Structure 1
Amino acid sequence: MLTNKKIILAVTGSIAAYKTPELVRQLVKQGAEVQVLMTPAAADFVSPLALSTVSKKPVFNSVSNNDQWHNHVHLGRWADVLLIAPCSANTLAKMANGLCDNMVQAVYLSATCPVLIAPAMDEDMWLHPATEANVKKVAAYGNQIIAPEHGELASGIIGAGRMADPEHIVQFIADFFKKKDTPPAPSKFKKALITAGPTYEKLDPVRFIGNYSSGKMGIALAKTLAEQGVAVTLVLGPTKEEVLLPNITLLRVESAQEMFDQCNAVFEDIDLVIMSAAVADFRPATQAKEKIKKTDGAEHITIELVKNPDILATLGKKKTHQVLVGFALETNNELAHAQAKLDKKNADFIVLNSLNDKGAGFGTDTNKVTIISHNNQPYEVPLQSKTAIALAIINYISNA
């Protein structure tokens, strides 16, 4: 996948640095030539000798040593990509503000190649407004963020901020080069509407009914279409995922009703609609104005629910020229339920997810889907990155 690709791996001071020998090993196994750089703090977490051994190259951790100058300008021009993994909060802040006090920063500021950043830090640091601002700044410079994952952190808590696993980073790089080396063909669609993420239905000012959707699949679809020149309107439920691409009009919503209203408002002018959001089917009949308190002696509480508007079915009744694609997340009788949804909602395609498939579904960076249509046999797309799944879905519906 990465044969003859020249990759600089810049390792910074994060506990996640212990994963980097395995990351280098996988990159080399895929045919890449890897040059490792380290910040001084990175050596507290991983041995330069280990990284030198797996990369088969000396590791550079300073601009110069006693008898040699390491040419950071040459390195920045030599590489096909600069990968900063793990990228600590400290290094991220330096990158955002153009500071240059170590070898990694010198190469970063000199790089003429694309830069990929895999942040790694504790959840509170990752969610801090300063870090969020720095992520936006470095992304605005044209760098690509390999989103951290949710999992066990060094602090012992479970949350966001964990560096993406080495195999996910390698897949991200492979997908990056695939898109870079094969420019996308112009889409036959001009304007697309995508829904993504969960909806939250309020119980009271502090509680809601929701689900685990991250919005990653819908965002991948929106980005893929935007890269093909399609003007995309992305209606995004409450998620922390960032969307930083031209050609995408981002409309953030919270509830199913808000998503319904935004979709209805733009639908007539759209020629492709992909409803990948995990929309709540029901909402509380009433929302308490104050926090619902426990009542002494009460063992149960009853909450009356009412149906939310069915966005896919409504658009299915209204469609004239639009291609309408729905998503179905199922746990049993998957194909039968997806086929029934295709007919009932008057959709052109249903993309089926199964929670029984490992690596697919909510919150993951990978997916496995089956595309159901009226006139063809179910089309299975094997487990791969959500970016690759998005491209497969768009290619299929474009050519069906």
Structure 2
Amino acid sequence: MTTPSSSRAAESRSPEVVLGVGGGIAAYKACEVLRRLTESGHLVRVVPTASALRFVGSATFEALSGRPVHTDVFTDVPEVPHVRLGQTADLVVVAPATADLIAKAANGLADDLLTNTLLTARCPVLLVPAMHTEMWEHPATRANVATLRARGVVVAEPASGRLTGADTGRGRLPDPAEIVELARLLLARRDALPRDLDGRRVLISAGGTREPLDPVRFLGNRSSGRQGYALARVAAQRGAEVTLVAANADLPDPAGVHVVRVGSAAELRAQMLRLADESDVVVMSAAVADFRPVNRAEHKMKKGAADPDALELTRNPDILVELVAGRRPGVVVVGFAAETGDVSGDVLHHGREKLRRKGCDLLVLNEVGEGRAFETEDNEGWLLYADGREQTLPRAAKSELASMVWDGVSALLHA
């Protein structure tokens, strides 16, 4: 039987998140952010601005959070909410963060409950901007964002796409699932999103290549692209200019990332070699087919009565080796290896051998199998350095593992 005291003890173990909602048209997306946070076990207190309530009413936020919504400093005065909310939170997320709200936060203004909470918070703070492109690019907004980042506030990069009315451009609120992923990352590692990749150009491959047999069939693999997308997402939020070459990944584009879509190993190779010369970091996380059919049928192959001919295969080029051989001085190259143990050695043995053969600076080694690495939400493995260092990557969400990989890359870049 659950007692009130045991319920409170269970509640106390759940992260306390303050979800601030600014007064922009994207306020309706905060409802999905709230739903995802509460369904994953977070205790969420919604603090909307007065303008936000013109877009979404308090009843909606209260129904989704199961907790009362306060909007001003004069409600529940004995509880001192303008101080307590910030003091007790494990994370403060503001989505959408309007240009006005960002300006107030940068200048220390506190004229409502949300801005008071931002002043008292000593936990990680994540501001997720949403505004028209002209407002995001205005020198005043850029200066305010720089001020907040210098103080340790995480100001996310906005997405590009449809804005209010017929306008399109940069300034769109990122997908709610991406906002929640960033929130979980900061709860797991409060220092996961430093701006240590500012000015760096990063090229990442992701997904799994498909080698066509005929117009409807192909040779492929089980890679979902989630790990590569997580690497791209985290790199962009750490300040990098990111290009993601995505092979057959059915995932939304990460905010602030330029995505190039490919299908086969040959297409991926062409794009990676073309873009590598413009990059400071190259990450080969895509699962590239080792072989392709020698001949592709022009028409769908019929089953017929006879047994099919043997399928003749030829080896695909080793893209990672080519990238290492052709890189400019100072470029960091990261490889990925999906391995299983066998009679000749365990996973680490094969990973070390692959690092030696490929010649990259870092190798992310994953042990694959049922429920491991491919098509999962989390990941684990090892980070192997060319100088012989090895780091265990404990089982965690793929975004968290991505942040650990970027810690290693950043250390090499700054060395």
TM-score range, shorter chain: 0.5 to 0.7
**Equivalent position amino acid for 1:365 in 2:** E
Alpha-carbon offset, residue 35 of structure 1 = 8.5
Provide the rounded CA distance (Å) in 2 between the counterparts of 1:341 and 1:286. 30
What residue in structure 2 maps to residue 379 of structure 1? 391
Provide the rounded CA distance (Å) in 2 between the counterparts of 1:310 and 1:303. 21
What residue in structure 2 maps to residue 236 of structure 1? 246
Provide the rounded CA distance (Å) in 1 between the counterparts of 2:397 and 2:210. 27
**Equivalent position amino acid for 1:253 in 2:** V
Alpha-carbon offset, residue 170 of structure 1 = 6.7
Structure 1 residues 144, 369: closer, same or farther in 2, change over 3 A?
A: farther
Provide the rounded CA distance (Å) in 1 between the counterparts of 2:67 and 2:20. 13
Provide the rounded CA distance (Å) in 2 between the counterparts of 1:184 and 1:207. 44
Are residues 1:144 and 2:174 paired?
yes
1:349 pairs with 359, 362, 365, which one? 362
Are residues 1:265 and 2:306 paired?
no
Are residues 1:225 and 2:255 paired?
no
Provide the rounded CA distance (Å) in 2 between the counterparts of 1:244 and 1:397. 20
TM-score between both structures, scaled by the size of structure 1: 0.61
Aligned Cα root-mean-square deviation (Å): 4.0
| Percentage of identical aligned residues | 30
TM-score between both structures, scaled by the size of structure 2: 0.59
What residue in structure 1 maps to residue 202 of structure 2? 192
1:248-291, Cα deviation, whole Å (9 max, x unpaired): 33221111011111112222332211100000000000000000
Partners of 1:34 and 1:55 within 8 A in 2: no
Provide the rounded CA distance (Å) in 2 between the counterparts of 1:390 and 1:200. 25
Provide the rounded CA distance (Å) in 2 between the counterparts of 1:53 and 1:323. 45
Unaligned runs of 5+ in 2: 1-13, 22-26, 49-58, 70-91, 97-126, 131-159, 164-168
**Equivalent position amino acid for 1:142 in 2:** R
Provide the rounded CA distance (Å) in 2 between the counterparts of 1:383 and 1:227. 22
Partners of 1:353 and 1:369 within 8 A in 2: yes
Provide the rounded CA distance (Å) in 1 between the counterparts of 2:326 and 2:401. 28
Alpha-carbon offset, residue 10 of structure 1 = 8.3
Alpha-carbon offset, residue 12 of structure 1 = 12
Alpha-carbon offset, residue 343 of structure 1 = 0.6
Are residues 1:392 and 2:404 paired?
yes
What residue in structure 2 maps to residue 314 of structure 1? 322
Alpha-carbon offset, residue 340 of structure 1 = 0.8
**Equivalent position amino acid for 2:273 in 1:** N
Partners of 1:198 and 1:212 within 8 A in 2: yes
**Equivalent position amino acid for 1:310 in 2:** D
What residue in structure 1 maps to residue 121 of structure 2? none
1:3-55, Cα deviation, whole Å (9 max, x unpaired): 35247898999xx9xxx699358212xxx43699xxxxxxxxxxx9xx97983
What residue in structure 2 maps to residue 277 of structure 1? 286
What residue in structure 1 maps to residue 16 of structure 2? 3
Please give the secondary structure, in 2, of the residue aligned with 1:353.
Answer: strand
Please give the secondary structure, in 2, of the residue aligned with 1:245.
Answer: coil
Are residues 1:363 and 2:375 paired?
yes
Structure 1 residues 227, 328: closer, same or farther in 2, change over 3 A?
A: same
Structure 1 residues 53, 270: closer, same or farther in 2, change over 3 A?
A: closer
**Equivalent position amino acid for 1:270 in 2:** S
1:96-131, Cα deviation, whole Å (9 max, x unpaired): xxxxxxxxxxxxxxxxx8599xxxxxxxxxxxxxxx
Structure 1 range deviating more: 136-145 or 211-220: 136-145
What residue in structure 2 maps to residue 304 of structure 1? 312
**Equivalent position amino acid for 2:401 in 1:** I
Are residues 1:55 and 2:66 paired?
yes
Structure 1 residues 373, 205: closer, same or farther in 2, change over 3 A?
A: same
Alpha-carbon offset, residue 56 of structure 1 = 4.8
Structure 1 residues 249, 369: closer, same or farther in 2, change over 3 A?
A: same
Are residues 1:288 and 2:297 paired?
yes
Provide the rounded CA distance (Å) in 1 between the counterparts of 2:374 and 2:387. 29
Structure 1 residues 324, 242: closer, same or farther in 2, change over 3 A?
A: same
Provide the rounded CA distance (Å) in 1 between the counterparts of 2:292 and 2:64. 57
Partners of 2:202 and 2:242 within 8 A in 1: yes
Partners of 1:223 and 1:245 within 8 A in 2: yes
Alpha-carbon offset, residue 183 of structure 1 = 5.8
